[in-house]
Amino acid sequence: GLNEHRRLWGWSLSLMAPPLVTLVLALPVFSEVGPAADPLFLLLITVATAAVGGLRPALASALWSAVLLTVLLSPLHGRPSVSLDNFLSMTAFILVGGLVAVMVEMAARRSSQALRARAEADAVALLAASVLSGNEPLQALLRRIRETFGQRSATLLERLDDGRWYPVHSVGAPACEAPEEADALVAVSDTVALALRGRVLPAADRGVMEAFATHVGIAMEHQRLAWDAAEARGQVAGNRI
């Protein structure tokens, strides 16, 4: 959706722009402007607020504009405060502002989802390539996972025979020493889990985290095979001696 910066600007517009426009329209230099132009200027402010800040600031701007039109501008032009025209103007403010705001928020949400999906796909592809090539150790993989999800730490926990958990690899601090301490947890194998600490992940990130856990499992298997091969070479060398 919309970021906090845009929402802040939207609220600023919704609260400050309608009274400023009302004061400008009340100046003597604009005395020749007909009463039919007042709702158009205020509607323009509502649409701009919707485009910048989304639905809630747009609705606030619509209601604020309707109050100013009814209380200040209509009496200024010799029209009754309560009239069918003002009611229709208020309805137009709310409907048009709400429609524009909904369209803006939908577009922002889709854009954000597309950017996030692309970034996650790039991260998974890069991670898969590094794991399959065997060029990146577990510590580097955990560091990459921690940075991708914006966590304080990423830890591989292994369950011992007595049921206790032991951190075998960790990046960042504070590291998790048990699954209960994790903000996000996913199983790598029957006895190993990937634990992240820092913030709770949204549901949309669970699938990516599970894909990362699969790659970590592959990296652990590569590491185990490398250790077995090194041990076998050491035994062969010892036998030759």
Report whether pLDDT(95) > 80.
yes
Average pLDDT, the chain: 78
Q: CA-CA distances (angstroms) from residue 126 to 37, 73, 115?
A: 57, 61, 16
Average pLDDT over residues 229-240: 64
Least confident of 11-15, 40-44, 213-217: 213-217
Report whether pLDDT(241) > 60.
no
Report whether pLDDT(80) > 60.
yes
Among residues of the chain, what percentage have pLDDT more than 90? 1
Average pLDDT over residues 136-161: 81
With 0.75 as the threshold, say if the pTM is over it.
no
- Let me know if 217 is exposed, middle or buried by CB neighbors in 10 A (0-12, 13-18, 19+): middle
Alpha-carbon distance of 57 to 88, in angstroms, equals 20
Q: What are phi and psi of 190, to 5 degrees?
A: -65, -25
Give, as one character, the DSSP assignment of residue 67. Answer: H
Report whether pLDDT(136) > 60.
no
Would you state the pLDDT for residue 182? 87
Report whether pLDDT(4) > 60.
yes
Average pLDDT over residues 14-20: 90
- Write out pLDDT tens, residues 24-48: 888 877 767 666 778 888 888 888 8
Q: Where are the beta strands (DSSP E) in the chain?
A: 153-159, 165-172, 184-187, 192-197
Are the CB atoms for 188 and 220 separated by under 8 Å?
A: yes
Are the CB atoms for 22 and 72 separated by under 8 Å?
A: yes
Alpha-carbon distance of 37 to 56, in angstroms, equals 25
Nearest to 153 by CA among 202, 197, 200, 212: 197
Confidence tier at 233 by pLDDT (50, 70, 90): low
Average pLDDT over residues 98-127: 75
Are the CB atoms for 201 and 209 separated by under 8 Å?
A: yes
Q: CA-CA distances (angstroms) from residue 40 to 47, 90, 108, 140, 200?
A: 10, 11, 26, 59, 46
Q: What are phi and psi of 26, to 5 degrees?
A: -85, -10
Q: CA-CA distances (angstroms) from residue 145 to 179, 190, 220?
A: 17, 21, 15
- The C-alpha torsion from 9 through 11 and 17 to 20, rounded to 10°, is -110
Least confident of 79-88, 149-158, 177-186: 79-88
Helix crossing, 206-240 with 138-149: angle to 10°? 170
